[in-house]
Amino acid sequence: MNKLCNWVELLRRKLISICSRVAPIYVVLLVTFNFSMSQGRPDIKFMVGGHVNWMESGVYNGSGTLLATASDDYTVKLWDVPTGNLIRTFAKHMGPVYSVAFSPDGQTLASAGAEGKVIIWSASSGAILKTLVGHTGLINSVVYSPDGQFLLSGSADYTAIQWNVSTGMAVRTLTAHTGPINSVAYCPVGQLMATSGYDGKVRLWDSQSGALIRTIAADYLRVFAIAFSPDGQTLVSGSDEAVVKFWDVLTGTLLRTGVAHTRYIYCLAYSRDGSMVASGSNDKTVRIWNANNAELIRTFTAHSDTVTFVNFNANGQEIASGATDGLVKVRSVQTGVLLQTITKCQGALSVAFSPDGTTVASCGSQVQVWNSLTGVQATSLLGYTGSIAFSPDGKTMAFPLPAGIKFWSLKPGGISRIISGLTSAAYSVTFSPDGSILASSMGCKWVIRRDREFMGCPNWSSDPYYRWS
């Protein structure tokens, strides 16, 4: 049953964003790798750009100067908030990363996801300090205790595990939920922990003994997000019901509700002073609420897809949000002005280096060509999709069109040509080692031989190697 629920949870996450459209994928444009596979994954040495897949989680450090983000691209990234520059990429996960958390002192990061383990990282060096193994399903949420000595993780295996950070050992396993756990939280004061999940319940636990203190029937379906107020007296929840609910922690009584979202609420956060609550939703908006009366203060139409995380900075004047559109946006809470968008590319589906390594190209909603040493963009074209390939001599690029293939000359003053008339889109292209043949495919197999007269354009009408079916 746990394996089935684990699979269902993975499927749910993939369907969040594609039920109404095909989501763009944001690609990292400049990457160099150390292909030592002893750790199971290449080490990323140099990177310019955003995540290559959907954003799942994000959190500020204590001062609000750094932002850590987690993504379906198997990585965690650390950003400098004032500049939007990428500082470091943590790339040892073997599956999508669904949650990331800063330790209270900002020295370490914890991340977890589809592989069902928690990794603790040094924020300054990127080194792995510990790997925590104990869950049998994917992990949806991870959080540090206020003193930084413990971690709490919630999983699709119906359990939450409390971990000792210094030893890396499990302290206790919390087993009361009857469905996958979506969110976990530590109370900032006192000794309470909270969990929520698919069973529609929020459960409060004693962090010292692990005893179940209270169960709150928060929703008839799923509770996706919870957050404690800074004073520990109130807990907010967000669910399928599309309502922000404020609960009295001591009694479990519903205090008030915030009604404005039109679809389910996926993430929540309190400001540091406790005066505001932010919510992010499948309706593509971020909403700011007065925490004292649940009145709506401001609405940001922030993204083009599901908002997966929201977080206030230290002084509560800025809010960061991330979504399955691949973007992180930082806005002024008071004015709504967009201060920073953290991304470096446009909907790319593939990337390729030139043979000499000095040029890199990405192909997706745009074809973009960059200097791989400086990161300076050389040129771009709109409206293309699929893969991209350089000829062995580096003078020509080829990429598919909706019903054809374009050969783009990279020589100054060079001629570019388009082969049109294919009955279906070709999603993949590759040159033979000697550059005499270009192969492309989609469902059936197509092979196109290059014409000597023009570098990259065959004789469309007579070439006998034009098509294999």
Quick one: average pLDDT of 345-351?
A: 50
* Mean pLDDT comparison of 45-54, 214-223, 376-385, 408-417, highest-scoring range: 214-223
Looking at domain 348-449, which CATH architecture does it have?
A: 6 Propeller (2.120)
E strand or H helix at 111:
strand 108-113
Single pTM value for the model? 0.67
* Alpha-carbon gap, residue 64 to 49, rounded angstroms: 21
Residue 290 burial (C-beta neighbours within 10 Å; 0-12, 13-18, 19+): middle
User: CA-CA distances (angstroms) from residue 118 to 99, 138, 195?
Assistant: 9, 10, 17
* Superfamily name and number for 2-341: YVTN repeat-like/Quinoprotein amine dehydrogenase (2.130.10.10)
The domains of the chain are located at 2-341, 348-449
Residue found under tokens 């971020």: 286
Q: How many CB atoms lie within 10 A of CB 411?
A: 10
Kindly report which listed range (6-20, 150-164, 182-196, 371-385) carries the lowest average pLDDT score. 6-20
| Residue-level pLDDT at 449 | 44
Kindly report which listed range (54-63, 83-92, 145-154, 448-457) carries the lowest average pLDDT score. 448-457
413 pLDDT tier (thresholds 50, 70, 90):
low
Q: Give tens-digit pLDDT for 354-374.
A: 887 677 776 655 677 767 556
Q: Give tens-digit pLDDT for 118-137.
A: 999 999 999 999 999 999 99
- The mean of the pLDDT values for the chain is 78
| Residue-level pLDDT at 273 | 95
CB contact at 8 A, 54 and 23: yes
Better-predicted residue by pLDDT, 406 or 337: 337
| Residue-level pLDDT at 353 | 67
Q: Give tens-digit pLDDT for 157-216.
A: 999 999 999 999 999 999 999 999 999 999 999 899 999 999 999 999 999 999 999 999
| Residue-level pLDDT at 380 | 62
